[in-house]
A and B are shown apart, each in its own frame.
Chain A
Amino acid sequence: MSSSTRRFLWALAFFCTSAAVGAAEGRPARTPEELRLVELEGQLARSPIVYLVLDPAAKVLDIRVRGIVIERVELQGLELLTYRPLFGDAEAPPLAIPAVWTITQGPGDTDREVIAPVRLRPYPKDGEEEEEESPPAPTPIPSGDEGDPEGEPRATYRVQLDNEWQLYVVNAPPKLDLWRRYLAAVHDGWERLRGRQPAHPALIALVLPEETALRLHHLFRAKMPLLVGDGAATVR
Chain B
Amino acid sequence: MSLPIPEPGRPLVVVPPRRRLWPRLLLLALLALALVAAAASAGLARYGGSYAARPFAAASSLAADPDAKVISPAAAERIEARLAALRPRGVYVTVDTYRNRLRVFRGEELLREAVCSTGTGRVLHDPRTGRKWVFDTPLGEHPIIDKRRNPVWAKPDWAFIEEGYEPPPPGSPDRFDDVSLGGFGLYMPDGYIIHGTLFKTLLGQRVTHGCVRLGDDDLEFVYKTVPLGARVFLY
A, B from the same assembly? yes
Q: In the docked arrangement, what's the CA distance between A173 and B41, Å? A: 27
Cβ contacts under 8 Å, B50 to chain A: 83-84, 86, 176, 180-182, 184-185, 188
Of A63, A80, A85, A96, the contact of B59 (CB 8 Å cutoff): A96
Instruction: Kindly count the residue-residue contacts between A and B in the assembled complex, taking CB atoms under 8 Å apart.
Output: 247
Interface digits, B122-165 against A, CB 8 Å rule (1 contact, 0 not)? Answer: 11111110000010000111100000000000000000111111
Q: Which residue of B lies closest to A205 (CB)?
A: B53
Of A81, A122, A188, A200, the contact of B165 (CB 8 Å cutoff): A122
Q: With contacts A83-B49, A185-B45, A190-B48 known, is A117 near B164, CB below 8 A?
A: yes
- Are A33 and B62 touching (Cβ within 8 A)? yes
Q: With contacts A80-B54, A80-B56, A123-B160 known, is A189 near B79, CB below 8 A?
A: no
- Are B64 and A45 touching (Cβ within 8 A)? no
- Are B44 and A138 touching (Cβ within 8 A)? no
- B204 at interface (Cβ–Cβ under 8 A)? no
Q: In the docked arrangement, what's the CA distance between A174 and B51, Å? A: 10
- Are A81 and B141 touching (Cβ within 8 A)? no
* Main SS at interface, chain B: mixed
Q: With contacts A115-B122, A121-B165 known, is A200 near B127, CB below 8 A?
A: no
Cβ contacts under 8 Å, B45 to chain A: 86, 182, 185-186, 189
Q: In the docked arrangement, what's the CA distance between A87 and B45, Å? A: 9
- A236 at interface (Cβ–Cβ under 8 A)? yes
What's the least CB distance linking A76 to chain B, in Å? 13
Of A66, A116, A176, the contact of B53 (CB 8 Å cutoff): A176
Q: Which residue of A lies closest to B47 (CB)?
A: A189
Of A88, A95, A236, the contact of B83 (CB 8 Å cutoff): A236
- B99 at interface (Cβ–Cβ under 8 A)? yes
User: Which B residues, 95 to 138, have Cβ-Cβ distances below 8 Å to chain A?
Assistant: 96-99, 120-128, 134
- Are B51 and A138 touching (Cβ within 8 A)? no
What's the least CB distance linking B169 to chain A, in Å? 10
What's the least CB distance linking A209 to chain B, in Å? 14
Of B49, B54, B62, B120, the contact of A185 (CB 8 Å cutoff): B49
What's the least CB distance linking B102 to chain A, in Å? 13
- A192 at interface (Cβ–Cβ under 8 A)? yes
Q: In the docked arrangement, what's the CA distance between A94 and B58, Å? A: 8
- A50 at interface (Cβ–Cβ under 8 A)? yes
- A70 at interface (Cβ–Cβ under 8 A)? yes
Cβ contacts under 8 Å, A39 to chain B: 70-71, 75-76, 79
- B167 at interface (Cβ–Cβ under 8 A)? yes
User: Which A residues, 132 to 164, have Cβ-Cβ distances below 8 Å to chain B?
Assistant: 135-138, 141
- Are A50 and B52 touching (Cβ within 8 A)? no
Q: Which of B16-24, B26-34, B86-94 contacts A (4 or more CB under 8 A)?
A: B86-94
- Are A84 and B87 touching (Cβ within 8 A)? no
Cβ contacts under 8 Å, B64 to chain A: 94, 96
Cβ contacts under 8 Å, A82 to chain B: 51-52, 54
Of A35, A50, A98, A99, the contact of B76 (CB 8 Å cutoff): A35
Q: Which residue of A lies closest to B128 (CB)?
A: A120
Q: Which residue of B lies closest to A75 (CB)?
A: B56
- B57 at interface (Cβ–Cβ under 8 A)? yes
Cβ contacts under 8 Å, B140 to chain A: 47-50, 65
- A113 at interface (Cβ–Cβ under 8 A)? yes
Q: Would you list 25 pairs from A and B whose C-beta atoms are within 8 A, ordered by A residue?
A: A32-B62, A35-B72, A56-B58, A66-B83, A66-B87, A67-B84, A68-B233, A70-B233, A79-B53, A80-B56, A83-B49, A84-B49, A112-B121, A119-B164, A120-B166, A121-B164, A121-B165, A174-B51, A185-B46, A186-B48, A189-B48, A192-B48, A200-B49, A203-B51, A228-B58
Given contacts A39-B76, A122-B165, A174-B51, 18 further A-B contacts (CB under 8 A): A36-B70, A45-B83, A48-B140, A56-B56, A68-B86, A95-B58, A98-B61, A113-B120, A116-B126, A120-B165, A120-B166, A124-B165, A138-B124, A176-B51, A176-B53, A191-B48, A192-B47, A221-B139
| 9 shortest interchain CB distances as A-B pairs | A189-B48, A188-B48, A189-B44, A135-B164, A48-B141, A184-B50, A116-B125, A96-B61, A67-B83
